[in-house]
Amino acid sequence: MLKKITLLFIITFSINANAQLTVGQVYNYNVGDVFQYNYTPSSTSPTYITDTVISKTISTSLDTVKYTYKRYSYKLPSCISCYPIVAYSTYSNSYHSLSSPFTYSNLSNCSASIIIPCVKDTIIASGFCGKKTFKSQWVGVASPSVISVYTINDANFSEGLGQTYLYIENIGNFDPSYTNMIYYNKSGITCGTYAVGINEIVINKFLLFPNPTNSTINILDDQNDFKNSTIEIKNNFGQTVMLIPFSNNIDLSNLVSGMYYLSIQGNYTYKPIKVIKK
């Protein structure tokens, strides 16, 4: 099995391009850019991850950039009777030496592999959505303690998209793990297929109450997710009866009793929520 895999790597990396990507070219984002990934760890259900850039800070030397992201994740149910797991968070990453050639420092060095064959190589080629991509693959054994387990590490980093693909597999202890970009929206330019449903479940299941209501409904927004969003309420005939800036408390006392549909539009468009006014 290892010989076949090694041959595959050698064929894949037989041609190398001359153009080199820099760190700044790989991690070139703007506020509002959206990236979505399909993360499939070993032996568990896939998770859809959506990252939105909410801030960008460049150092005075112009050689370091810091991004802050808002992350939503949606883990698929692991059984028929199970519920999906939804979470959201905020995190930051800094990237340095922006003008330097991009390298992937997490790869093991072939000189450290205790057995042969060990294959490590990189190329610059076309990647996700045709973007110029730094591809790096490594296979070998890096530690005497795991001599029976060969490791494959396959990573792609694309211009303006960061890491678009990561595959890790320990042969002999089969547990492949994938992280694969499936969609991006950069300054209104999109590519890939957006997997809807993540944010709809957050608001539908956790944040809107009471429903039905006599007069006021509340939307819990602890993470300030809906700042600068708009609330639209339509009646059962599809007519807009209310269009207001986002508020945690919405007064429906002027509406007649009946069924309405509330939607929130901002960084994402949320699935309309059925609201009953008593």
pLDDT at 88: 78
pLDDT tens digits along 144-185: 555 555 667 788 999 999 999 988 776 665 567 778 999 999
Of all residues in the chain, the percent with pLDDT exceeding 70 is: 68
Q: What does the pLDDT look like over 197-235, one tens digit per residue?
A: 544 444 444 467 788 888 888 887 666 667 778 888 998
Give the whole-angstrom CA distance, residue 58 versus residue 53. 14
Structure tokens at 172: 């002999």
What is the pLDDT averaged over residues 248-254?
90
Amino acid at the residue 245: P
Strands 162-171 and 177-186: antiparallel
Write the CB contacts of 192 (distance below 8 Å, at least 6 apart in sequence): 36, 128, 129, 181, 182, 183, 184
14 shares a domain with 147: yes
33 C-beta neighbours (distance < 10 Å), count: 22
Considering the domain architecture, whether residues 178 and 223 belong to the same structural domain is answered as: no
Winning range, highest mean pLDDT, from 11-15, 63-67, 195-199: 63-67
Residue 204 DSSP code = I
Q: Is the pLDDT of residue 39 over 80?
A: yes
Give me the mean pLDDT over the 30-42 stretch: 88
The predicted model gives 11-15 an average pLDDT of 35
What would the mean pLDDT of 257-271 be, rounded to a whole number?
76
Of residues 55 and 146, more confidence is placed in: 55
Where does a domain end: 139, 171, 192? 192
- 164-168 long-range contacts, Cβ below 8 Å, gap at least 24? 164/127, 164/128, 164/131, 164/133, 165/127, 165/128
Q: How many domains does the chain have?
A: 2
C-beta separation of 83 from 69 below 8 A? no
Host domain of residue 140: 2-192
Shared-domain flag, residues 168 and 208: no
Give the domain-ending residue among 153, 172, 192: 192
pLDDT confidence of 65, banded at 50, 70, 90? very high
The reply to whether 95 and 149 lie within a common domain is yes
Tens digit of pLDDT for each residue in 113-137? 555 555 566 778 888 899 999 888 7
Mean pLDDT, the chain, whole residue set: 77
